[in-house]
Structure 1
């Protein structure tokens, strides 16, 4: 648990500033993946269900590693809500993975306030290691066969950045 908190604090210092515009932030990057298979996991959702990544096989999945205390993470959530609304019926799944140490105590009121309409899972420290997450927010785009196609490191505050990559997989 202590390691998880230290990682979370590091991530906050790297990517979560008081600035509202992260455009041009040198910490932001879009990385092509070597198309390795995304590590499977099973996590608890905010509605107390066990959810596995393998459950989404055959669909395009965007995993968003985030936290309630991360301002940049908060700014991306409306984009993810829109993407989910627009592309869910075409085989797209949006899955948020909260790294908050307070877990349900802070996550449920936060997602309710923002009107989050997609699945939110409660992350575990080892999952960040499995996905090589070094900063939040980080989003991981996974294709229908379960392979990682892109990693978006840092806030991408324009919907077309995600949308263009998503459309390539539809």
Structure 2
């Protein structure tokens, strides 16, 4: 079976020849509830909004990582609409070279509780469900207080735009 094809990534940041990078792969999820609202995560400490998601563990495929990360950050259970990745980014920040893969999903169960790491608790992470338009607005008007938050803002605005282009991800 052929390896999946991924969309060409949007590059964020600049790759520097004199930097030794750690490679990381991650997933991001544009998940819809039955009302057509999308889940976003607010990071209170650094004042930015992001899509649920995070790093892919060595033993995980993209779908498994997407389901785990979504559950950890929101408590919800999702089902990917497709194994097709909707958009990708390639980020160069600090000593990290990260590729993020974005998938569209539907909420299956929202009765669980988030399982945040200590760092995520310190960051003040909390999720909310809003319309796609409101998610884009909140992401755009947020003024991150850190360089990391600015990278996340650029990445996730792009991924949300790509995943919802032309109504492709509507409920």
TM range, smaller chain: under 0.3
TM-score (norm 1): 0.23
TM-score (norm 2): 0.23
- Whichever of the two has the greater Rg, that structure is 2
Structure ranking higher in strand proportion:
2
